[in-house]
Amino acid sequence: MSTKTPPYWKGTNVVLDAGWGDSGKGKFVDIGSQYADVVVRWAGGPNAGHTVKNEHGEFKFHLMPSGIFNTLCILGDTVVIDPHVLLEEIDEMESRGFPLTPLNLLISADASLILEWHKHRDALTETARGGKKLGTTGRGIGPAYSDRTERTGLKMFHLYESNFEKLFEREFRWQSKLCKLMGGDHEAFDYDGMLAHLKNARERLKPMVQNVIPLIWKMHDAGKNVLGEGAQGSLLDLDLGTTPYVTSSHPTIAGFGIATGIHANKVKRVLAAVRAYGARVGDGPFPTELFDKMGEHIREVGHEYGTTTGRPRRCGWFDIIATWYGARVAGATHIALTKLDVLDDVEEIKVCTAYEVDGQKYDARNLPTIKPRFLDKAQPVYKTFPGWQVSTRSVKKFKELPIKAQKYVLFLEKHVELPIKFVSVGPDREDTIAR
Ligand code: GDP
Ligand code: IMO
Ligand code: MG
């Protein structure tokens, strides 16, 4: 696209998250998409909340790809789409002066739809877990993906089939039956209201819905700049994450391949956003979680409240073992270390360098598993760093960071064993140090 594209963003690249989500992917997709010919969002659905802060203002996107200000964006095959949420976001963009057309947004015909019953089933399943709830976002993600793997449920292209009303009626009956079996309120769904809403969505989205893979391949094969936008984080991967405390999709590089048919070995760079400390929202193991004033301090300074649900995020220290593992399964080639500025006021910063379980020490290299049966027992072993206690917010070059901050970053780089390509010191596009 642009002749000024920095070498880093040339070709087919991916931005994802190597933690439990919310590490600042949205910001880096916004940055990278300035040079992209196309952005492909591939994971999750409206459980995501991606913040973009640029010259147009601040935006919190759930389904809208974060590259939307800069280039053509695609919602890929494996994104689960709640038409209500998507239309709301399209309306918001339009009201803020960004009309959407097929020139800036395309939607895969094969994306699965999230409808009312998925949200209902999500809530019923959480209740059925008793004291072991996952703390889902309640957006119907798990049930929508279960239908997809069951090879049932409605997809985008069904809206345009000549027998759509028949398909909807069959789906309505089936889902009502399911909800009844689950002990839910199967009469809560409004047949006419839902159908009318879907017909409205069908009309509004029609110009944007198409088979997207041929276009993605054409651009990839022509050496255009294709940027994959991940969602969630690799520690939330259905299989390789802290299962069952995970989401129902594949936020790793494998997920990009499933959505696009572009194999990982054809992807040039995989930039993984990683916070300069630890955090997660929802339930599940988190060995370095802080339950004291320091945890509260990080939450307040870092504004660690869920972008989608508003829930307070659990905060803690940087965990080298979980990050090393998360970056590895993500397929990361580089790290974007985010939110370093959040630690500016902290007197002493800790980093978890090993776990102790049943009197034995484990590091990233001999981690037996990341699953709760092990992680729940892990006692973090910390190394302490002196804080730099000056603002890093306006710093533009790595060498201009306080020496103590540089040492902290270099320590993380050495032990995560991946180059830290970017250091982020604020939410704005400009608050970014490239190395
Ligand atoms: P995503 O889901 O990975 O895109 O991240 P979220 O948008 O859910 O959460 C990241 C939050 O941190 C957002 O509010 C961003 O504006 C903010 N943010 C991103 N990078 C930085 C940074 O370097 N410093 C600070 N203070 N905030 C940041
Ligand atoms: P972004 O893209 C953080 C978490 C939920 C819950 C678990 C399962 O903004 O980083 P789900 O609704 O997906 O069935 O919930 O996954 N989760 C996220 N946490 N960021 C996200 O997205 C998340 N998407 C899902 O909190 O623990
Ligand atoms: Mg988020």
Phi-psi region of 227 (alpha: psi -120 to 50; beta: other; left: phi over 0): beta
Residue from 27, 232, 271, 309 whose mutation best tests the ligand 1 pocket (most atoms within 8 A of CB): 27
CA-nearest residue for atom 5, ligand 2, is 136
Residue from 85, 281, 338 whose mutation best tests the ligand 2 pocket (most atoms within 8 A of CB): 281
Per-residue three-class SS string for the chain:
CCCCCCHHHCCEEEEEECCCCCCCHHHHHHHHHCCCCEEEECCCCCCCCEEEEECCEEEEECCCCCCCCCCEEEECCCCEECHHHHHHHHHHHHHCCCCCCCCCEEEECCCEECCHHHHHHHHHHHHHCHHHCCCCCCCCHHHHHHHHHHCCCCEHHHHHCCCHHHHHHHHHHHHHHHHHHCCCCCCCCCHHHHHHHHHHHHHHHHHHEECCHHHHHHHHHCCCCEEEECCCCHHHCCCCCCCCCCCCCCCCHHHHHHHHCCCHHHCCEEEEEEECCEEECCCCCCCCECCCHHHHHHHHHCCCECCCCCCECEEECEEHHHHHHHHHHHCCCEEEEECHHHHCCCCEEEEEEEEEECCEEECHHHCCCCCHHHHCCCEEEEEEEECCCCCCCCCCCHHHCCHHHHHHHHHHHHHHCCCEEEEECCCCCCCEEEC
Average pLDDT over residues 22-50: 97
Percent of the chain with pLDDT over 70: 99
Q: Looking at the CA of residue 308, tell me the nearest atom of ligand 2.
A: 9
Asked whether residue 268 carries a pLDDT value surpassing 90, the answer given is: yes
The rounded Å distance from CA 232 to ligand 1 centre is 13
Confidence of residue 18 (pLDDT cuts 50, 70, 90): very high
What pLDDT score does 308 carry? 83
Q: Are 323 and 416 in contact (CB under 8 A)?
A: yes
Buried-state track 370-403, b at ≥16 Cβ within 10 A, e below 16:
beeebbeebebbeeebebbeeebeebeebeebbe
The CA distance from 45 to 153, in Å, is 15
Confidence of residue 362 (pLDDT cuts 50, 70, 90): very high
Average pLDDT over residues 268-295: 97
Average pLDDT over residues 396-408: 98
Asked whether residue 61 carries a pLDDT value surpassing 60, the answer given is: yes
Asked whether residue 2 carries a pLDDT value surpassing 60, the answer given is: no
What pLDDT score does 188 carry? 84
Distance of CA 387 to the CA centre of its chain: 29
Q: Looking at the CA of residue 311, tell me the nearest atom of ligand 2.
A: 26
Asked whether residue 121 carries a pLDDT value surpassing 80, the answer given is: yes
Does the Cβ of 30 fall within 6 Å of ligand 1? Answer: no
Confidence of residue 1 (pLDDT cuts 50, 70, 90): low
Q: State whether the Cα torsion 420-67-154-49 is positive or negative.
A: positive
Average pLDDT of the residues of the chain: 96
Does the Cβ of 123 fall within 6 Å of ligand 2? Answer: no
Residues 6+ apart with CB under 8 A from 278: 19, 286, 288, 289, 315, 316, 317, 318, 319, 322
The rounded Å distance from CA 49 to ligand 1 centre is 10
Residue 204's alpha-carbon distances to 56, 190, 301, in angstroms, are 25, 21, 40
Instruction: Give the β-pairing of 432-434 and 420-424.
Output: antiparallel
Asked whether residue 321 carries a pLDDT value surpassing 70, the answer given is: yes
pTM: predicted TM-score of the whole model, two decimal places: 0.97
Average pLDDT over residues 100-112: 97
CA-nearest residue for atom 13, ligand 1, is 51
Q: Are 136 and 122 in contact (CB under 8 A)?
A: yes
The CA distance from 376 to 151, in Å, is 35
The CA distance from 96 to 408, in Å, is 40
Q: Are 346 and 387 in contact (CB under 8 A)?
A: yes
Does the Cβ of 63 fall within 6 Å of ligand 2? Answer: no
Task: Give the model confidence (pLDDT) of 127-164 as tens digits.
Answer: 999 889 999 999 999 999 999 999 999 999 999 999 99
Average pLDDT over residues 287-308: 96
* 22 a catalytic residue: yes
Which entry of 30, 50, 118, 122 is annotated as an active-site residue?
Answer: 50
Does the Cβ of 66 fall within 6 Å of ligand 2? Answer: no
The rounded Å distance from CA 47 to ligand 2 centre is 6
The rounded Å distance from CA 2 to ligand 3 centre is 28
Average pLDDT over residues 75-83: 98
Q: Are 101 and 158 in contact (CB under 8 A)?
A: no
The rounded Å distance from CA 247 to ligand 2 centre is 6
Beta-bridge mates of residue 270 = 14
The CA distance from 275 to 18, in Å, is 9
Asked whether residue 254 carries a pLDDT value surpassing 90, the answer given is: yes
Average pLDDT over residues 182-198: 93
The CA distance from 265 to 128, in Å, is 41
Percent of the chain with pLDDT over 90: 95
Q: What are 309's two structure tokens?
A: 């649900």
Instruction: Give the β-pairing of 334-338 and 420-424.
Output: parallel
Beta-bridge mates of residue 107 = 75, 209
Asked whether residue 317 carries a pLDDT value surpassing 90, the answer given is: yes
Q: Looking at the CA of residue 424, tell me the nearest atom of ligand 1.
A: 23
Average pLDDT over residues 168-183: 96
Burial of 365 (0-12, 13-18, 19+ CB in 10 A): exposed
Residues 6+ apart with CB under 8 A from 7: none
What pLDDT score does 186 carry? 76
CA-nearest residue for atom 10, ligand 1, is 24
Asked whether residue 3 carries a pLDDT value surpassing 70, the answer given is: no
